[in-house]
Every structure is written in C-alpha cells, then in structure tokens.
Structure 1
Amino acid sequence: MNEPKRLRRPSAGGYARGDETRRKIIEAAISLFGQLGFEGASTRDIAARAGVNAPALQYYFENKEGLYRACAESIADESWQALEPAVLRARAVLERNGDTPELIDAFIDILRAVADRTFVKRSEPDQRLFFAREQGGGEPEIGSQVLRERVREPLNEVNVELLARITGKKADDPLTVVRMFSLYGQFLVFHIARGSTLTTLGWNEIDAKKADFLKTSCCEQTRVLLEHWSRLRDA
C-alpha cells in the first residue's frame, strides 16, 4: 500500500482549532468503526457524530481509509505512551543481565501495564470494540499494520526475551511464544469477551475495584508459572 500523501493542516492561528476538530473526528470514527465496522460506519455518520460537515473528513484524512489509519495511529500512540516506561525498565534489566527474580518482576511489570491499559474505564470512543473488530479480521489491514509495528512487535520482542532468560528456552522457540500469549490471554479474555465473562461472574461492569482484583489474580498466577518454569530450567 502506498504511503498516504501529507494532508493539509490549518495555517498559523488555526492550528489549535484544527487539532481539536481532527481529534473529534478521530474519536467519533473510533466509536463508530468499533460499533459498526469499517464498512458499516459511513463518513456521513462519522461527521455527524463529530459535529462537523462531511467535507472536513476529506480535508483532514483524504478518504475513509485514511481516517481508519489515523484512528489506529491514535490508539497506538496512546497505548505506547502507557506501555513504554515498563518496556524500558525491562530492557534495562535485560541489558544488565538481571537475575531471575528481576526478570520475573520485569515481565509482571509489563503485564500489569498492559492490564492497566486494558481495564481503564473509558467514555466514548470505545477502543475495546475497535480493537476487537481489528483482531477479528475483515477490517482494513492498515490498522493491524500500524498497531503491529508501533505496539505489538516491540512489546512481544521484549516479552519473549524475558521469557527466554527465565525459562532457558530460545526467544524464537514456539513454546516461548505460546507461553507469552497464554499469560496475556489470562486477562485479554475479559477485554475481548467482556459480555460473556461479566455474565458468568455476575458483574455489570469492571470498575476500579474489580479491575484491581483481576490484575492481582492474573499477576499472581503469572508469578507462579514463571517461578515454576525457572525451576525447570535449573533442574
């Protein structure tokens, strides 16, 4: 896919107003793309939700796919801003050849950062639905490409390296990768399959208290598994 051309931006004193308009369009689009999917969400409805006229979408994003890309970039930037501190701490542990307890703590530090990002209570737009549709396939590939390059690949890279040190397996060993995804799957199910998990638990929502409960449970389980795998490494 060709790199989109540089779009027009407001001049001089119009930057603040233009950035606010752009933000409103992206928020409206994330919400409607999440609820209706790329095909189901019309540019007319997105413009109406954002409170702008339809030509504004073309002015800022060129076309519908350009808007979808901007939505993915916005989510990726916000996600990485939340995750980067834990990733940098983990890389520092790896660079100084930290011992097993430090490696385990670093892995759980990242896990908790991802959980914090997953369970944070949000108003519109609902990024959870956007993410679920993107993961389910059928949406423009550019969204997955942006999220993969800016968030998933750097996150996975440090996670498998931590697991490799902890378990004694190679970072590219399929078992290492499966273990990584299984550990994150503990709480991602509450993010992707929120309706069924809430029903089973008898909860109406995941508030701050319930989120802390889920994070604590998942982190405790993760520590047990990581310590067990480290003992197998040393056996």
Structure 2
Amino acid sequence: MSEGKRLRRSPEGGYARGDETRRKIIEAAIALFGREGFEGASTRDIAARAGVNAPALQYYFENKEGLYRACAEWIADEAWQAFEPAVLRARAVLATQASAEALIDAFIDILMCVADRTFVKHHEPDQRLFFAREQSGGEPEIGSMILQERIRGPLNKINVDLLERITGTSAQDPITVVRMFSLYGQFLLFHLARRSTLAMLGWHDIDAQNAEFLKTSIAEQTRMLLKFWNAQHVERERSR
C-alpha cells in the first residue's frame, strides 16, 4: 500500500494550496469514518464534506484505504506532538538514579499530558469516534498498526518502565500492566462514557474549570497509589 503523497511546499517555504486541500479531506474523512465506519463512509460524501471534487481524493491518497491510513497518521502525529516532551523528560529521568519522587513526577507528567488530550481537546468528537471504531474492530488493520507504533507502544513502554522502577515489579509482569491501565482508566471513563459521567456530576460539559478539577483529583489519587506501591517495594527490599 502506498505511503501517500508527501506534502508539497510553495517556493516561498509555506504550505502549498494543495496541503490545505489535503488537510480538509483528512478532517472530513476522520469525521465520516468515525460516524459511519470505513465501509459506511463513501468517498463521495467525504469529498462533499471537504468541499472538493471526488477525484481529489484519488490524487492525494490514491484510494479509500490510503485515505484511512492518512487519517490514522494525522491523528498519531498530532497526538505525539503533545506527548513527546513529557516522554523525553521521563526517559531522561529513567537514565539516572532518580528518586522515587522524581519517577512518580515523571509518570504523572505523562498522565496529565494524556488527560489534556482527553479533556481539553474534547471539542474534537470526530477523533473520539474514529478511535472508538478502530478499537471495536472491523476497520482497516493499518489504522491500529499506526496508532500502536506511533502512540500506544511508546506510551505503554515508558509507563511500565517507570512503574517498574517505582514498584520494583518487572515491566513485563501482568500486575504492572494492570496497574498502568488502571491508572489511565481513571480519566478514560470521562472520555468514553462522557454522557453518563457528566450526568452523574451534574455538569453540562467539561470546561476548563472542570477539566482542571478532574486532573487535580486524578493526579492526587495517582500519587497516593504510586507512593503506596513504592513503600511496599521498599519494605520488601528491607526484609530481604
């Protein structure tokens, strides 16, 4: 399958007009793939939503599968720009004989970056629906492969490595993986079951104030759990 055509640039160094057209097509496709699924979304409807002629899709992406791949790459690249600084900081911490507190701070730093994507970017429901369909199966496998390689894999790796140092339990141990997903599950529920959680809290939306409240609460709970697991690790080491 083709990697898709590279973005063209104008001689002046800015994005060419075609790049804006490409972006519009991708955004329209993310919306329709999320709402209708890969099979249900037609290239004609995607082109109409993007305000372009149908042949433009073939020009930029060759076929529908190429467009789906471009959507996954677009989402992955955008997300990684938000996550990469915290991941790099965490890698730097892991490269030293850092204290438990520094390791915990690094874990929470990444957690809060992901929370920002969940709460602050909640005005992008199209991406949520795209993710939900991709996770449920039935969509082209290339989407999951791209998201795993560019986002999920690196995030999971750095998180279990931090947990290994904090808790003393191997990164490959199932309990470490369960702990990681449990900690991230604290806010993913607000992402996946938004309507139910908002109703329970009596909120109309997760605005900036509510998002900060959730982030603070989750960070405090996470710190308490990580300190507890670290204390257990220290006690085990002392008793040897």
If the length of structure 1 is used for normalisation, what is the TM-score?
A: 0.94
The match for 1:4 is 2
Give the match for residue 165 of structure 2: 165
Distance in 1 between residues matched to 2:196 and 2:96, nearest whole Å: 43
Q: Report if aligned partners of 1:112, 1:219 keep a CA contact under 8 Å in 2.
A: yes
Residue of structure 1 in register with 2:118 after alignment = 118
2:27 counterpart of 1:27 = yes
- Do the aligned partners of residues 198 and 18 (structure 1) sit closer, same or farther apart at CA in structure 2, a change above 3 Å counting? same
> Kindly tell me: are residues 44 and 123 of structure 1, through their superposed partners in 2, closer, same or farther at Cα, counting changes over 3 Å?
farther
* Corresponding residue of 2:175: 175
Partner of 1:82: 82
The offset of 1:93, in angstroms, is: 0.4
- Specify the SS of the correspondent of 2:16: helix
Q: 1:99-131 deviations in whole A, cap 9, x for unaligned?
A: 100000000000001101111245556211111
Q: TM-score, normalised by structure 2?
A: 0.92
* Residues 216-235 of structure 1 aligned to structure 2 (within 5 Å): 216-235=216-235
Letter in 2 for 1:190: F
Distance 1:43 1:123 in 2: 25
User: Counterparts of 2:211 and 2:36 in 1: how far apart (Å)?
Assistant: 27
Deviations 1:42-91 (A, max 9, x none): 11111000000111111111111111110110000000000000000000
Aligned-pair distance for 1:40? 1.5
* Residue identity opposite 2:18 in structure 1: G
Give identity over the alignment, percent: 73
Structure 1 counterpart of 2:143: 143
Distance 1:24 1:100, change over 3 A: same
Unmatched runs of 5 consecutive residues or more in structure 2: 236-240
Q: CA deviation at 1:11?
A: 8.2
Contact 1:72 1:147 in 2 (8 A): yes
The residue aligned with 1:103 is 103
Alignment partners' CA distance in 2, 1:219 and 1:122: 19
In structure 2, relative to structure 1, the CA distance for the partners of 1:124 and 1:172 (3 Å cut) is closer
